[in-house]
Chains A and B, each alone.
Chain A
Amino acid sequence: MIDYFLTEEEEIIKELARKIAEEKIKAKRAYYDETQEFPWDIVKIMAESDLFRIFIPEEYGGFGGGVMSLTVAVEELSRGCAGIALAYAGTALGTFPILLFGNEEQKKKYLPRIAEGELAAFALTEAQAGSDAGNIKTRAEKRGDYYVLNGTKQFITNGGEAGIYTVIALTNPEKGARGASAFIVEKGTPGLSFGKKENKLGIRASATREVIFQDCKIPKENLLGKEGMGFIIAMKTFDYSRPGVAAQALGIAQAALEEATKYAKERIQFDVPIANFQAIQHMLADMAIKLEAARALTYQVARNIDKGNTKITKESAMVKCLASDVAMEVTLNAVQIFGGYGYMKEYPVEKLMRDAKITQIYEGTNQIMRNIVASQLLKEVK
Chain B
Amino acid sequence: MNIIVCIKQVPDTQDVKMDPERGTLIREGVKSIVNPFDLYALEEGIRIKERTGKGTVVALTMGPPQAEEALKEAIAMGVDRGILITDKAFAGADTLATSYTLAKAIEKIGSPWVIVCGRQAIDGDTAQVGPELAAWLDVPQITYVSKILEIDEKRIKAERLTDYGYDVVEATVPCVITVNKEINEPRLPSLRGMMKAKRFKPEIWDSSSMDVDRKYIGLEGSPTRVIKIFAPPQKIGGQKHEGTPEELAKIIVKKFEELKII
**Residues of A participating in the B interface, judged by any CB pair closer than 8 Å:** 8-9, 12-13, 15-16, 19-20, 23-24, 45, 48-51, 53-54, 63
Contact = CB atoms under 8 A, between A and B. Distances in A.
A235 to B, nearest CB: 30
A18 to B, nearest CB: 11
Interface string B175-190: 0000000000001111
Main DSSP-derived SS at the B contact region? helix
Which of B188, B190, B191, B195 is the most central at the interface, judged by chain A CB atoms within 10 Å of its CB? Answer: B191
Contact of A49 (B190, B195, B198): B190
A50 B198 contact: no
Contacts of A51: 191
A24 B188 CA distance: 9
Nearest to A50: B191
Nearest to B194: A12
Contacts of B189: 16, 19, 49
Nearest to B192: A50
B42 to A, nearest CB: 15
A377 B192 CA distance: 42
B195 A9 contact: yes
Interface of B: 187-192, 194-195, 198
Contact of A63 (B187, B188, B191, B198): B191
A8 B195 CA distance: 9
A294 B194 CA distance: 29
12 contacts: A9-B195, A12-B195, A12-B198, A13-B191, A16-B189, A16-B194, A19-B188, A20-B188, A49-B188, A49-B190, A54-B191, A63-B191
A9 B188 CA distance: 17
Given A23-B188, A24-B188, 18 more contacts: A8-B198, A12-B191, A13-B191, A15-B194, A16-B188, A16-B189, A16-B190, A16-B191, A16-B194, A45-B188, A48-B187, A48-B188, A49-B191, A50-B190, A51-B191, A53-B191, A54-B191, A63-B191
A327 B214 CA distance: 63
Main DSSP-derived SS at the A contact region? helix
A136 to B, nearest CB: 37
Contacts of A45: 188
> What are the 4 A-B residue pairs with the smallest beta carbon separation, nearest first?
A50-B191, A50-B190, A12-B194, A49-B190
Contacts of B195: 9, 12
A8 B189 CA distance: 16
A12 B190 CA distance: 10
Which of B187, B188, B192, B198 is the most central at the interface, judged by chain A CB atoms within 10 Å of its CB? Answer: B188
A28 B62 CA distance: 36
B87 to A, nearest CB: 31
Nearest to A52: B191
Contacts of B187: 48
A195 to B, nearest CB: 34
A24 B185 CA distance: 11
Nearest to A13: B191
Contacts of A54: 191
A50 B195 CA distance: 11
Which of A16, A20, A54, A63 is the most central at the interface, judged by chain B CB atoms within 10 Å of its CB? Answer: A16
A72 B192 CA distance: 17
A147 to B, nearest CB: 37
Contacts of B192: 50, 53
Nearest to A69: B191
Which of A12, A20, A51 is the most central at the interface, judged by chain B CB atoms within 10 Å of its CB? Answer: A12
A17 to B, nearest CB: 10
Nearest to A23: B188
A50 B76 CA distance: 12
Contacts of A8: 198
B172 to A, nearest CB: 33
A363 B194 CA distance: 33
Nearest to B197: A12
Nearest to A41: B185
A15 B194 CA distance: 10
Contacts of A16: 188-191, 194
A41 to B, nearest CB: 10
Contacts of A20: 188
Nearest to A19: B188
A50 B194 CA distance: 10
A54 B195 CA distance: 13
A235 B129 CA distance: 62
A63 to B, nearest CB: 7
A48 B198 CA distance: 19
Contacts of B194: 12, 15-16
A20 B190 CA distance: 11
Contacts of B191: 12-13, 16, 49-51, 53-54, 63
A13 B198 CA distance: 12
A48 B188 CA distance: 8
A45 B190 CA distance: 9
A54 B190 CA distance: 11
